[in-house]
Structure 1
Amino acid sequence: MKIYIDADACPVKSICADVASNYGIRSVFICSVASHFALKGRWIETITVDQGFQSADLYIANRVKAGDIVITDDYGLACMALSRGCLALSFRGKEYTKHNIELLLMNRHVNYKARRAGKRPKGPKPLSAEERARFQKTLEKIIEKKEGDC
């Protein structure tokens, strides 16, 4: 099992690194050259991809295997991860499932159409301390469940 992190604009990188290190799981941070960052550790791998459209998402989608965990706020990437037998988790600690991904993708499409029509929906609020704690708790719960299944 690996944890793949869509690291462009990811506000929980340090939590991902800490949790992965605590459980001895390789964490792979994928970012574009525009948002390169430096996290170091025995269980941490950083991959830098081109700045092209969806480069980080495609890199992750092409490498994940069933049982891996994908951390992203991109519904399209979450859907691809689910279709490959992975678990997917948002930056706010919400687990993507086959039961909720279709509605999330539909909402993304509706928002896209609104933007094309000139409407500017609000972006996401910064993560609160409570949301960061929820993310960490959910990630740990997922890992413990997967380790128990092995």
Structure 2
Amino acid sequence: MKIWVDADACPVVIKEILFKAANRTKIHTTLLANHNMSVLKSPYIHFSQVSQGFDVADNEIVERCQVGDLVITSDIPLASDIIDKGGLALSSRGEVFSKENIKSLLSMRDFMDTMRSSGEHTGGPAPMNQADRQQFAAQLDKILTRHLQSQPKS
């Protein structure tokens, strides 16, 4: 398993949780963004800057992701592509995207896009709070523990 992070919109507090998890589990974690950012110096944490442009980072994540890899993103179309490819997807608020929920989430996203384009003010997501951080950390820990338990003992 590798962890891929859609880092352009990933909150700093979530990156910090990921850095700790990568070092604790020794799972390689790569942040991809279209602008430079600093990451914790570690053999398990990597940064890859992609060129500017619409969905360039998303497309790169889809290309690099393998079956069983985990992608951290709040981008529902990206999560859908990852699920189709056999990967796992987790939002920065701890929502696990799955085959069972991704179609309805895409439909709701498209509906909200239609509402916004017609002039409706739908507001953005609520600010990230402590419960969101705890939910993310708990779901990440659950996914990583399941992965580590499935590995053969050496």
Scaled by the length of structure 1, the TM-score of the pair is 0.95
Name the structure 2 match of 1:10.
Answer: 10
Q: What's the CA shift string for 1:46-75, capped at 9, x where partnerless? A: 011112000110010011000100000000
Task: Give secondary structure in 2 for the equivalent of 1:16.
Answer: helix
Per the alignment, in what secondary structure is the counterpart of residue 29 of structure 2? strand
The alignment partner of 2:67 has SS state of: coil
SS in structure 1 at match of 2:9: coil
Question: How is 1:139-150 mapped onto 2 (pairs within 5 angstroms)?
Answer: 139-150=140-151
1:77-98 deviation per Cα after TM superposition (whole angstroms, max 9, x unaligned): 1011111111110111111010
Alignment pair present for 1:136 and 2:116: no
CA distance in 1, matches of 2:138, 2:70: 15
Moved over 2 A (4+): none
Report the alpha carbon displacement of residue 19 of structure 1 after superposing the two structures with TM: 0.8
Amino acid in structure 2 at the alignment position of 1:42: P
* Residue in structure 1 matching 2:21, options 7, 14, 19: 19
Q: Which residue of 2 aligns with 1:53?
A: 54
Specify every segment of 5 or more residues in structure 2 that has no aligned partner in the other structure, as ranges.
none
By how many angstroms is 1:120 displaced?
2.2
1:114 counterpart SS class: helix
Shift of 1:17: 1.3
Q: How does 1:1-150 map to 2 (within 5 A)?
A: 1-11=1-11, 12-33=14-35, 36-39=36-39, 40-150=41-151
Letter in 1 for 2:95: K
Aligned residues: 148
Alignment partners' CA distance in 1, 2:147 and 2:42: 23
TM-score by length of 2: 0.92
* Identity level (%): 36
Partners of 1:130 and 1:105 lie apart in 2 by 24
Q: For the residues of structure 1 that align with 2:10 and 2:117, how far apart are their CA atoms?
A: 25
Q: How many Å separate the matches in 2 of 1:45 and 1:13?
A: 12
